[in-house]
Amino acid sequence: MKKNLNETRKQGWLTLLALVIIAFAVSIGFSPLFELIEGGIAARVLGSSFGAIFVIVLTMFLLNKQTEIEQESKKSERVFDEKVRIYQDILEICKDMLMDGNLTQEEINRLPFPLIKLQMLADEQVIKTFQLVFEKLNKVYEVEGEIVEIKPEDKNEIYNLLSEFSSACRRDLEISSNDVDPSIQQNTVNTIVKSNKKANDQTKYYFDGKKMHKNRYVYAVITNYLNQNPDTSFKEFQENILERNFNGRTGQWEVWKTYDEVKELHHKGSGSGRFFVTDKGKAGDILKDDDLVINLSDEKICLHKSWGLGDMKPFISLMKSKGIRVE
């Protein structure tokens, strides 16, 4: 595209140069030439010929400029579409990180390539603002372990940085000639912070006398029952114990998936870190380390790590209704 555009511009300049030469030649030699042939048909033919040549060259120049404009327009449209796609991908990745309040090595590993793509297409300010987001996420994930809980103050700072990144994207895409009003931007962040405070539940649950987070509690209840009933089949588990979408969640947010399905998510580079597979932290490889995978008689499953406060009462009620111990 760049080569074709340069060739079009070069041809345009050559055509313009030809117009200038023709105009200069006509201005100097047109009158003497007419005097030489002394009018008549020859003069009219000569005048028509010069006019035709001038019109042809001028038309060539205008067509060349039109082609140049069309090529520029196509390039701009393509670049715009690619920018929008990259910016949306980055925001989706960050959304996945912040939704469950935990960071995994897999999620961190999804960020370098979008940053490299930004260097190819984005404005410098966009790159700088995203680098700040990336640096903050790396700082949060300095603690060893497969799952690192994002503290509320860190999450709020990340939202603030993402808001700056979004504003930089808006400027780069020329969505508006004006920047987002700082008060609007700050109000947006404050609203998100308030919603995080409401959603940030630290309720602990007890099982066998041990105090646990919600996800570990669910894991303990399910594994305790299966340890006592090792012959439970995959069909029995999903029909009689816990359906994978009992709380209405689907896709990567189902409350459990088969081990093979989680490995498939890992190959796709998204979502496998949300399921209990291994307790080996960063050193773990979910393709071979399966110390947290639950073994049924004919299948292996992985429980989801993200359980909200609204999930717990239905889960406990469901387990009690099936005669499964919950404390």
Task: Grade residue 249 by pLDDT with cuts at 50, 70 and 90.
Answer: confident
> How does pLDDT run across 19-32, given as a tens digit for each residue?
566 666 655 555 56
Q: What is the mean pLDDT of residues 35-54?
A: 61
Q: Is the pLDDT of residue 176 over 80?
A: no
Domain ranges of the chain: 2-75, 100-199, 205-321
- Summarised one tens digit per residue, pLDDT across range 53-77 is 666 666 776 676 676 666 666 767 7
| Residue 199 pLDDT level (bands cut at 50, 70, 90) | very low
Q: Which tokens in the block code for residue 35?
A: 């005097």
Q: Which stretch, 80-89, 188-197, 277-286, has highest mean pLDDT?
A: 80-89
Q: Identify which of 19-23, 27-31, 47-51, 118-122 has the greatest average pLDDT.
A: 118-122
Return left, alpha or beta for 251; rule: phi > 0 is left, psi -120 to 50 is alpha, else beta: left
Least confident interval from 110-114, 130-134, 148-152? 148-152
- Please give the backbone phi and psi of residue 305, each rounded to the nearest 5 degrees, phi first: -90, -20
Answer whether 327's CB lies under 8 Å from 207's CB. yes
Compute the average pLDDT of residues 299-309.
88
Q: What is the mean pLDDT of residues 91-110?
A: 77
Q: Which long-range contacts (CB under 8 A, 24 or more apart) does 68-75 make?
A: 68/5, 68/8, 68/9, 68/12, 71/1, 71/4, 71/5, 71/8, 72/5, 74/1, 75/1, 75/5
pLDDT digits (tens, 9 = 90+) for 255-289: 999 999 999 888 877 778 888 998 876 556 788 88
Closest CA to 109 of 266, 246, 217, 256: 266
Is the model's pLDDT at 103 over the cut of 90? no
Tell me the range of 216-230, 241-255, 304-318 where mean pLDDT is highest. 216-230
C-alpha of 101 from chain center: 18
* pLDDT number for residue 116: 87
Instruction: List the structure tokens of 198.
Output: 């409401």
**In the chain, what percentage of residues exceed pLDDT 90?**
19
Per-residue pLDDT band at 6 (split at 50, 70, 90): low
| pLDDT (average), residues 163-167 | 87
